[in-house]
Amino acid sequence: MTVTESQKLAYVAGQAAEARVNLEIETEGMTLNLGPQHPATHGTLRIVAKLDGEQVVACEPIMGYMHRGYEKLTEVRTYPQVTTLVNRIDWLGHFANEVPFILAAETLMDIEAPPRAQWIRTIFFEMARIANITLFLGDMGVQLGALTPVFYAFRDREYVLNQMEAVTGGRFHPNFDRIGGLRDDLPKGWIADTKAVMDKVRNFCDVMEDLLVGNEIFDSRTRGIGVIPAEVALGFGLTGANLRASGVDWDLRRDQPVGLAWNEVDWKVWTHPDGDSFARYWVRLQETREAAHIIDQLLDNIPAGPVMAKVPRIIKVPEGEAWVSTENPLGEMGYYIVSKGDLGPFRCKIKSASFNNISVVPWVTRGVYVPDVITILASLYFILGDIDR
């Protein structure tokens, strides 16, 4: 086969488009593959960065290395079996994944869990948030080269997980939420123990504030880096702390409490006007404190009563469609369930927060240096399981 003239031209044009050629010193760009195996991607995210020296010209996240097909798997599971699957979507915020699915199923079945169940759900939801975000608070240090904070994060997160384990029997995958309520009630003495743990969480937040937020190097590495203006954040569909750090006052816990107990207690939605990496860290730090505050108040007035409503022994969800989303640790997470009246969902669409949060990466990393790509990725805080599902 001979190469035609037009093929040659196409090749040359492709090369020219591929490499950004600096006309003054005739240098060629370099393509750097961050991942699929790379310490900064916490899993198997692949980021293809086109570099000019150390400056990023273009950067594209490539997902799908950890796709587990959960949406398809739900179609061959019964409703109670699905919670085991969805526990593993955002594996750090385990319990929080179950809640919107159960709520969507409850909406379709027209069942409401008893108030005690709703309160305990809220407590666990916030504990999952703490278990999730404490790790971010420490991990941000690792991505910046400070190794110590993450050990404190793992240590103090363990106290929260122990409390979860005391009730649910599972550290990572509680699988505790049921259609119509919860599997079990709280064990004896759990409330007092949890209050002590919340003090530890608050103490941890103070330590993080001392170790990182007040640090000049941390400041210089995060302030003004990776700025996402409010309109861009909204345009890319960012949710959760990433959106609030851009100054948008948006929190589904307050705006759409879906029957959980958030409206019963006094708390605050934290926002930060800057939209940079620092703002995202700061907002999450405050949210962890706020979550401990919410849990403390909820623990004080848990209503008495059963934790399970009356539900049929074999759960069949009537025909219909339902969408429920909640404010998960990583952002908005929702389930769109289509039921044909069977034992399991006919179709289940899972909207997870990290997928949207990561989509802003090409926009926000243009023109930054390689070390800042790592900081920005860390501050956007994604969980691989939450991207790929």
Partner 1 sequence: MLSVELAYWQQTLLRTVGVLAAVLLPAGALVQLFLFKAVSFMQSRLGPMEAGPHGSLQLFAEVGKWIQKEDIVPDRADARLFKLAPYLVVGTVLLVYLAIPFGPDAVFADLEGGIFYALAASSVSVIGVLIAGWASANKYSLLGGLRAAGQLIAYELPLVLAVMGVVIQAGTLNLQRIVTAQADGSIFGFGAIGLPFAITQIVGFVVFLIAMQAELTQTPFDMPVAESELVTGFMTEYSGMRFLLFFIGEFAAVGALSAVAATLFLGGWYFPGLDHDANYMNVLGPIILLAKILLLSFVVFWVRFTYPRFREDQLQKFAWTVLIPISLLNIVGTMILKVAF
N-term to C-term CA, the chain: 45
C-beta of 66 vs 211, nearer to partner 1: 211
C-beta of 149 vs 331, nearer to partner 1: 149
Q: What is the DSSP string of 106-137?
A: HHHHT----HHHHHHHHHHHHHHHHHHHHHHH
Residue 360 dihedral angles phi and psi, to the nearest 5°: -85, -10
Q: Given strand 55-62, what is the order of strands in its sheet?
A: 30-34, 46-52, 55-62
Residues 359-378 that bind partner 1 (CB under 8 A): 369-374
Residue 146 binds to partner 1 (criterion: CB under 8 A): yes
C-beta of 317 vs 380, nearer to partner 1: 380
Residue 210 binds to partner 1 (criterion: CB under 8 A): no
Nearest-CA neighbor of 389 among 74, 78, 37, 90?
A: 90
C-beta of 32 vs 191, nearer to partner 1: 32
C-beta of 164 vs 377, nearer to partner 1: 377
Residue 87 binds to partner 1 (criterion: CB under 8 A): no
Residue 159 binds to partner 1 (criterion: CB under 8 A): no
Residue 36 binds to partner 1 (criterion: CB under 8 A): no
C-beta of 44 vs 87, nearer to partner 1: 44
C-beta of 118 vs 143, nearer to partner 1: 143
Residues 211-230 that bind partner 1 (CB under 8 A): 211-212, 215, 217-218, 220-221
Q: Which of 27, 72, 151, 303 binds partner 1 (CB under 8 A)?
A: 151
- Give Cβ neighbours of residue 88 (< 8 Å, ≥ 6 apart): 68, 70, 97, 173, 385
Q: Which of 38, 50, 183, 195 binds partner 1 (CB under 8 A)?
A: 38
Location of structure tokens 């019964």: 78
Residue 144 binds to partner 1 (criterion: CB under 8 A): yes
H or E segment and range at residue 40: none
C-alpha distances (whole Å) from 185 to each of 36, 81, 368, 374 are: 42, 20, 51, 43
Evaluate whether 358 touches 45 at the Cβ level (below 8 Å).
yes
C-alpha distances (whole Å) from 134 to each of 137, 148, 224, 381 are: 5, 14, 23, 12
Residue 30 binds to partner 1 (criterion: CB under 8 A): yes
Shortest Å distance, C-beta 374 to partner 1:
5
Q: Which of 19, 20, 21, 32 binds partner 1 (CB under 8 A)?
A: 32
**In sequence order, what E strands does 253-381 have?**
320-328, 331-339, 347-351
Residues interacting with partner 1, by CB under 8 A? 30, 32-33, 38-40, 54, 141-148, 151-152, 155, 211-212, 215, 217-218, 220-221, 369-374
